[in-house]
Amino acid sequence: MAKKAVSAFITSSKSFINAPSTKEKYRVKMTDFTRNRKLPFEQLVLCMLKLLRKSLVLELRSFFNKSESSTNKMTSSAFVQSRKKLKPDLFYDLNQVILKEYYTDNDENVKLYKGMRVLSIDGSTLGLPFSKDILKHYSTYNNQNKTEDVDLGRVSVLYDVLNNMVLDGYLRPFSQGENTIAMEHIQYAQKGDLIIMDRNYPSFNLAWHMQQQGIDFLFRCQTGFSNKVKEFYESGKRDEIIHIQAKRKKSFKNLPYDRTSYLKVRMLRIELDSGEAEILMTSLLDKKEFPHKIFKDLYFKRWGVETFYDHFKNIIGVEQFSGTSHQFIQQEFNCALYMSNMQSILTQDAEDQVEEKYKKRKYEYKVNRSLALGFIRERLIEIYTSEHDSETVLEELKELFIENVVPIRPGRKNKRDVDKYRRRTKPKQFKNRRGLL
């Protein structure tokens, strides 16, 4: 068993950011970042990692006050010109660097279920700033009440629900379908993983590709998926293995299967507390290793990706974009994915110690994620630039995480209002509406 220290992920990130090849690969033009400017390439990346949630003037003042830069001020306009030289893919690939580090020789930290990583694919939407460039790359949307159009992007992630890590994430035009993006996500899963998805995702195509790669799946399935599924639902059976066939109204040309192809899947009826029955479809066929009784709790683990979106929007604050161009939006989205994962890594040891420290109290406790992010942003420059004191800073951060906790109150439920998003009107975001605090 191996366990990596938090400092390993900081070291990997710094090595990637400071490598000469990184600057060459992620600058827009070959002439970018070749002159000695107030904000060189490495400093610009660190400034972006702080997450630009306030007015740019305040963010830049804060950054230069804490950085080792030779200058102590920079105008917002100069910063924007520097950002234009940076490709958004840098932050996406930086995220892949720490993910590779996390899942390699780190068995003691990585949580598994029966030897499997438990992943989930799910989508959401993000409100985007109002600009001509955003309209060009994304789209407007109006709800069923025909409220004023807003700019929306579709978000989709492949998420490790046991370890709170985003393995893959995209911000795309709202018109792009969730299943199309899901097909892209599965290349970041590996043999032996289990992917849980809700009822928007079941398809023969997606299931076939996952089975070919040795990836297991667990779908919530609508009864109208096929006649075989409908027959299972109407039979009243709790657990049955069936065959599903490929059905298409269009041609099978260029597909790796045809209309005679089929998959063996297992259908499960799960009784909910409300008295309703939920139908699940899975590739986990072994009834001894995976008995019927485990699937209610197993499917519920998908809720982790829902809480991720709550954290991503309301704590990471991904919708608080500081730019109004497609390039800047993608920069900040990818940066937010990386910082979400780094927060999970930085707080992992603290979570284990919190569980031990507060085990005799009435409730279980966890790290306050909102405060934790604030502490990380406050000390981020020290963490990434200190040559000798980064371990000290990381230890101080861990103590802050342990001191600032919130209780986990089991059994708390809020009545679900399925129509609230249809009635809601999101305001347009304009570039002169940045927070001051």
Domain residue limits at 214: 111-307
Residue 260: predicted pLDDT: 87
Where would I find the H helices in 186-220? 204-212
Q: Is residue 98 part of a domain?
A: no
Q: Is residue 433 part of a domain?
A: no
Distance CA 268, CA 236 (A): 10
- 343, 300: one domain: no
Tell me the chain's radius of gyration from C-alpha atoms.
Answer: 24
Q: Is residue 95 part of a domain?
A: no
Distance CA 268, CA 434 (A): 49
Helices (H) and strands (E) in the chain, counts: 16, 11
- 61, 179: one domain: no
Q: Report the phi/psi class of residue 164: left, alpha or beta, with left for phi > 0 and alpha for psi in -120 to 50.
A: left
Which residue among 251, 282, 307 closes a domain? Answer: 307
Residue 431: predicted pLDDT: 54
CA 96, 169, 79, 59: dihedral to nearest 10 degrees?
A: -100
Enumerate residue ranges in the chain where pLDDT < 50: 421, 432-433, 436-437
Q: Is residue 437 part of a domain?
A: no
Residue 437: predicted pLDDT: 47
Q: Is residue 173 part of a domain?
A: yes
- 261, 128: one domain: yes
Distance CA 251, CA 19 (A): 48
Token representation of residue 138: 């994304």
- 349, 402: one domain: yes
Distance CA 30, CA 272 (A): 59
Specify which residues 342 forms β-bridges with.
none
- 303, 330: one domain: no
Residue 419: predicted pLDDT: 56
- 286, 342: one domain: no
Kindly state the DSSP code that residue 429 receives in the 8-state scheme: B
Report helix, strand or coil for 413. coil
Instruction: Enumerate residues 6+ apart whose C-beta is below 8 A from 99.
Output: 165, 167, 341
Residue 415: predicted pLDDT: 61
Residue 278: predicted pLDDT: 93
- 347, 276: one domain: no
Could you give the maximum distance between any two Cα atoms of the chain, in Å? 74
- 277, 342: one domain: no
Distance CA 119, CA 275 (A): 28
- 158, 270: one domain: yes
Residue 315: predicted pLDDT: 94
Residue 387: predicted pLDDT: 67
Q: Is residue 192 part of a domain?
A: yes
Q: Kindly report the length of the chain.
A: 437
Token representation of residue 283: 């590739």
Q: Which of 169, 94, 93 is nearest to 124 (CA)?
A: 169
- 271, 340: one domain: no
Which residue among 307, 337, 363 closes a domain? Answer: 307
How many independent structural domains does the chain possess? Answer: 2
| Contact by Cβ (8 Å): 340, 51 | no
- 119, 225: one domain: yes
Token representation of residue 420: 């609230």
CA distances from 79 to 76, 129, 160, 258, 430 (A): 5, 19, 35, 54, 19
- 349, 379: one domain: yes
